[in-house]
C-alpha cells in the first residue's frame, strides 16, 4: 500500500523533473552597464532559468550583491527548489561588487557625514540598482513585477538598508549575517524608526551564524525590534545557524531565505482536491501579481491519486476541471474517461468520449482508437 502511494507521489512530482534533461541547464549571461548614477562601469552576471529560451514565460527576479561569488550557488539553489516546486523559477541577477569598491557600495554613510544634496555609499548603490539595473533587466528579459534582494555580511546590511530606504521596491529581502555593528550600530536606529512607523513591507529573512559578539549582539537587537514593533505588512523570520561560520552560512541562508519568501508556494505532499489546489494557486497569483492556473499535469496527477483512494467526487471534480480548462489535451480527456470507468459510470464515460471526439482538434485515428479502446 505504502509503495503504491509513494509511486503515485513520484508520478505527480516526476512530471516536474523533466527539466533535468541535459539541454535544460540554467543559462549564464554577463552584462556591462555604464551607470550614470555611479559614474562608472559595473558588471552583472545573469542566471536565466532552465528552458528560458524555449518558452515565453515571465519570471520573478532575485537581485544579489556579491554576484560573482554568491551567484553560482544561489542560482543553483533556486533551480533545485524550483524543480521540486518549492519556489518559482527565477531570474537571478548577480551584481558584482569588486573588492576595491565593496565597502563603499554596501555600507551606509555615517550619520554625521550624510549629504542631503548627494547620495553616498549604500544609498547611491541602491539608487544604481533602482534606476540603472532594474530597468535594464526589465528591458532585456521577460520579468514579472515581483523582485527580491539578497545580500550577505555588508550585503546583508545593504539589504536591510534597502528595505528601510525604499519600502516596496523589493517584495522580499534576505539578509544573511548582516554587519549591523557598522557605525556604532547605526542601522538599528534607522530600523527602529521605520518599524515604529510601520513603513516596512513584504517578507524579510535574517540569519546569523556562530560568530563574534560584534555580529551576534546587534543582530539580536534587530530581531528584538521586529518583535517589539510587529506589523501585518512585514513577515519576518530569523534563524541562527550555530554550526556554520560567517563564511559558510550563505548556502543555508539562501535556501531557508528563499523558502520564507515563498512560504505557502509548495503543494503539500498529500492528496489535494480542486479547492485545495485552487487556493494554493490563488496565493501564488497574489504573490507574483499575475494569474496562475493549475498546470494540466498537476491536476491530472492529483486527480489520479484521488481516484486511487476511491474519493469519487473529489477525483471527478478535479479531472472534469482539467478537461474543461485544457479542452485540447488528449491526456486530460483520457484521464476523465478512465476515472468514470473506474467508478463504473459507463454513461458518463461515453458522454466524455463523445465530448473528446468533438473537442480535440486534429485528433488522429490512432488517438481516437486509444480513447475508444478504453471501453474494451
pLDDT digits (tens, 9 = 90+) for 76-90: 999 999 999 999 999
Q: How far is residue 259's CA from residue 262's CA, in Å, rounded to a whole number?
A: 5
pLDDT score for 111: 74
pLDDT at 26: 79
Chain-centroid distance, C-alpha 46:
16
pLDDT band with cut points at 50, 70 and 90 for residue 12: low
Sketch the domain layout of the chain as residue ranges: 2-261, 274-373
H runs (alpha helix) in the chain: 2-14, 67-83, 99-106, 121-128, 134-140, 154-165, 182-196, 213-228, 250-261, 274-288, 296-308, 312-325, 330-342, 346-359, 365-373
Average of per-residue pLDDT values in the chain: 93
Residue 261 and residue 174 in contact, taking contact as beta carbons nearer than 8 Å: yes
Q: Which three cell numbers stand for residue 290?
A: 499575475
User: To 5 degrees, how large is the angle CA 165–CA 166–CA 172?
Assistant: 115
- The pLDDT confidence band at residue 19, using thresholds 50, 70 and 90, is very low
Pairing of strands 27-35, 40-48: antiparallel
CATH class given for the domain over 274-373: mainly alpha
- How far apart CA 202 and CA 344 sit, in angstroms, is 50
Q: Are 342 and 358 in contact (CB under 8 A)?
A: no
Domains 2-261 and 274-373 belong to one CATH topology: no
Would you state the cell numbers that stand for residue 139, as one nine-digit string? Answer: 528591458
**C-beta separation of 31 from 115 below 8 A:** no
CB of 250 closer than 8 Å to CB of 207: no
CA distance 355 to 324: 10
Mean pLDDT along residues 362-374: 95
- 3-class secondary-structure state, position 134: helix
Name the percent of the chain lying above pLDDT 70.
92
Percentage of the chain beyond pLDDT 90 is 89
- Length reported for the chain: 376
Statement: residue 18 has pLDDT above 70: no
Angle, vertex CA 92, rays to CA 282 and CA 146, nearest 5: 30
Tell me if 303 sits within 8 A of 322, measured CB to CB: yes
Instruction: Report the distance separating Cα 187 and Cα 180, nearest Å.
Output: 6
Has residue 1 got a pLDDT over 60? Answer: no
Give the number of other CB atoms < 10 A from CB of residue 255.
Answer: 18
Torsion of CA 288, 289, 295, 299, to 10 degrees: 100
pTM to 2 decimals?
A: 0.91
Least confident of 19-33, 229-243, 307-321: 19-33
Poorest-confidence range of 22-36, 72-86, 132-146? Answer: 22-36
CA–CA distance, 139 with 70 (Å, rounded to integer): 24
* pLDDT number for residue 186: 95
Concatenate the DSSP letters of all residues of 218-251 into one string.
HHHHHHHHHHHS--TTEEEEEEEETT--TTT-HH
- Annotation: CATH topology of 2-261: Rossmann fold (3.40.50)
**Residue 316 and residue 304: Cα distance in Å, rounded?**
9
- By CB neighbour count within 10 A (0-12 exposed, 13-18 middle, 19+ buried), where does 322 fall? buried
CA quadruple 134, 136, 137, 141: dihedral sign: positive
Residue 21 pLDDT level (bands cut at 50, 70, 90): very low
**Is the pLDDT assigned to residue 170 strictly greater than 60?**
yes
Amino acid at each position: 500500500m505504502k509503495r503504491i502511494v509513494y509511486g503515485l507521489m513520484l508520478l505527480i512530482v516526476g512530471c516536474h523533473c523533466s527539466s533535468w534533461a541535459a539541454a535544460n541547464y540554467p543559462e549564464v549571461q554577463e552584462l556591462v552597464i555604464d551607470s550614470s548614477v555611479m559614474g562608472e562601469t559595473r558588471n552583472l552576471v545573469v542566471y536565466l532559468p532552465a528552458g528560458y529560451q524555449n518558452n515565453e514565460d515571465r519570471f520573478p527576479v532575485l537581485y544579489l550583491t556579491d554576484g560573482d561569488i554568491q551567484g553560482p550557488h544561489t542560482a543553483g539553489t533556486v533551480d533545485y527548489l524550483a524543480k521540486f516546486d518549492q519556489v518559482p523559477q527565477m531570474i537571478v541577477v548577480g551584481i558584482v561588487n569588486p573588492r576595491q569598491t565593496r565597502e563603499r557600495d554596501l555600507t551606509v554613510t555615517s550619520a554625521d557625514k550624510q549629504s542631503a544634496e548627494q547620495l553616498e555609499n549604500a544609498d547611491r548603490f541602491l539608487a544604481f540598482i533602482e534606476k540603472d539595473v532594474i530597468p535594464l533587466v526589465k528591458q532585456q528579459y521577460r520579468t514579472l513585477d515581483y523582485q527580491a534582494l539578497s545580500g550577505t555580511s555588508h550585503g546583508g546590511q545593504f539589504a536591510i538598508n534597502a528595505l528601510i530606504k525604499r519600502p516596496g521596491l523589493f517584495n522580499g529581502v534576505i539578509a544573511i549575517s548582516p554587519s549591523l555593528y557598522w557605525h556604532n550600530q547605526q542601522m538599528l536606529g534607522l530600523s527602529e524608526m521605520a518599524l515604529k512607523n510601520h513603513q516596512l513591507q513584504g517578507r524579510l529573512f535574517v540569519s546569523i551564524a556562530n560568530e563574534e559578539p560584534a555580529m551576534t549582539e546587534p543582530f539580536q537587537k534587530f530581531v528584538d525590534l521586529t518583535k517589539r514593533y510587529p506589523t501585518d505588512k512585514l513577515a519576518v523570520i530569523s534563524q541562527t545557524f550555530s554550526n556554520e561560520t560567517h563564511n559558510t552560512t550563505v548556502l543555508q541562508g539562501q535556501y531557508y531565505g528563499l523558502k520564507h519568501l515563498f512560504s505557502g508556494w509548495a503543494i503539500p505532499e498529500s492528496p489535494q482536491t480542486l479547492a485545495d489546489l485552487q487556493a494554493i494557486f490563488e496565493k501564488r497569483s497574489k504573490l507574483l501579481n499575475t494569474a496562475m492556473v493549475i498546470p494540466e499535469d498537476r491536476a491530472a496527477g492529483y486527480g489520479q491519486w484521488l481516484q486511487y483512494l476511491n474519493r469519487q467526487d473529489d477525483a471527478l471534480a478535479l479531472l472534469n476541471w482539467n478537461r474543461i480548462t485544457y479542452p485540447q489535451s488528449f491526456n486530460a480527456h483520457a484521464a476523465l474517461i478512465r476515472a468514470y470507468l473506474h467508478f463504473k459510470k459507463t454513461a458518463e464515460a461515453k458522454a466524455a468520449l463523445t465530448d473528446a471526439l468533438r473537442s480535440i482538434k486534429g485528433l488522429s485515428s490512432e488517438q481516437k482508437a486509444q480513447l475508444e479502446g478504453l471501453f474494451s
